[in-house]
Amino acid sequence: MEDEDYTIAGFEPVFLSALEHYSYCPRQCALIHVEQTFDENIYTLRGRAVHQRVHEVDSFSEEGVRVEHSLALWSNRLGLVGQADLVEFHEGVPYPVEYKYGKYRERDIEHAAVQLGGQAICLEEMTGIAVPKGAVYCHNSHRRYEITITSELRSKVQAITAAVRAMLLAGELPPPANDKRCRNCSLNAVCMPSAIGDGSKARSLVAGLFRL
């Protein structure tokens, strides 16, 4: 896949947060970034509280490591924009840390890792310094999952960025997943995965609207 410079033409910025949303569920991503829908539930409220605390301090140094909170990020090459919750600079090398609330398990990290990979690519372009690793910090367990920024992860970031941009330009909603991902999704009420995802159920509901 060839790189494109979105500073020249066809600029449709993609938020770094959209990378995780799309990786987890393309329809959730479309509801948020195409339809501008965002409903709160207990998980999003707790996550918001965690991020507010992360963003309270701008920058400081600790044991020789410079720490930047809420750092604005961008990549002209991929057309990515957003911010990092926290970036540590170890001897000048950026190390992004993405904060998450919830009971993250090892297999859940893959979606957050895509967002972290996007942050690493932005930092490399902004600083000219290679970013080999970063971490996803899970507030519930107070555990850091270190992520290696592999070539596979970079390719995944690039592919998902292109998919999100195409979805934004098309302005269409993908079909609902209607699986276990929907259980705790804050957008369940507006997505209606069980009604729309099951065609026969949807047809029954529509038929009922006109039944006397």
Ordered DSSP codes for 21-82: HHHH-HHHHHHHHTS------HHHHHHHHHHHHHTS--EEEETTEEEEEEEEEEETTTTEEE
Give residue 198's pLDDT band: very low, low, confident or very high (50, 70, 90).
low
**pLDDT winner (highest mean) among 33-37, 41-45, 199-203, 204-208:** 33-37
Per-residue pLDDT of 4-31, as tens digits, reads 555 444 567 999 999 999 999 999 999 9
* Contact by Cβ (8 Å): 149, 122: no
* Contact by Cβ (8 Å): 162, 177: no
Amino acid (1-letter code) at residue 109: I
> Angle CA(144)–CA(16)–CA(142) in degrees, nearest 5?
15
Tokens of 158: 């690039």
**pLDDT winner (highest mean) among 30-44, 51-65, 76-90:** 76-90
- Least confident window among 44-53, 72-81, 87-96: 44-53
Model's pTM, two decimal places? 0.81
Summarize the confidence of residues 82-87 as an average pLDDT. Answer: 94
